[in-house]
Amino acid sequence: MPLSPDEQRILDEIEQRLAEEDPRLVETVSRTSLAAHLARKIRRAALAFLGGFVMLMLFPVQLWIAAAGFCVMLAASLLVYRYLKQLTLDQVRAMQEQGRFSLAALLARVSGRMRRPPAA
């Protein structure tokens, strides 16, 4: 349902006042999309999952570390599920086309960062 002209005018005024009060916030919000923000959160949760897995593998050292690692893995996987639910199907498809979710693209990025620049 489109906004009425009066509501649109009020929204424009609010937007203009916000741009005057905090231009840095406006720049940040306009530069970042919801999909990019959620993708960043998914990467962090995946790293937490890996950290929990490492903790779980330390069960011969201390059992409580393994139990905490399991809890970290569980929490991280629930967060990834929640973030993926917030993404729309079109956003997920766009990320797949860009190669953000593919294993081959991930390995290419990692190997690209590991390579040494050619000596001149």
Nearest partner of 84 among 42, 33, 40, 37, judged by Cα: 42
pLDDT higher for 7 or 100?
7
In this prediction, residue 79 carries a pLDDT of 92
Whether 6 is covered by a domain: the verdict is yes
Whether 2 is covered by a domain: the verdict is yes
* Residue 107 backbone phi and psi in degrees, to 5: -65, -35
Token pair of 28 as six digits:
């940040």
Angle between helix axes 34-56 and 63-86 (nearest 10 degrees) is 160
Which residues span the domain enclosing 54?
33-114
The CA-atom distances, in angstroms, between 96 and each of 54, 93, 102, 106 are 28, 5, 7, 12
Residue 98 sits in the same domain as residue 64: yes
Residue 23 sits in the same domain as residue 81: no
Whether 120 is covered by a domain: the verdict is no
Angle at the Cα of 28 from the Cα atoms of 26 and 34, rounded to 5 degrees: 110
pTM of the entire predicted model: 0.59
Number of folded domains in the chain?
2
Residue 19 sits in the same domain as residue 48: no
List pLDDT tens digits, range 22-66.
888 778 777 777 777 788 888 899 999 999 999 999 988 899 999
Residues 74-93, mean pLDDT to the nearest whole number? 83
In this prediction, residue 33 carries a pLDDT of 72
Whether 119 is covered by a domain: the verdict is no
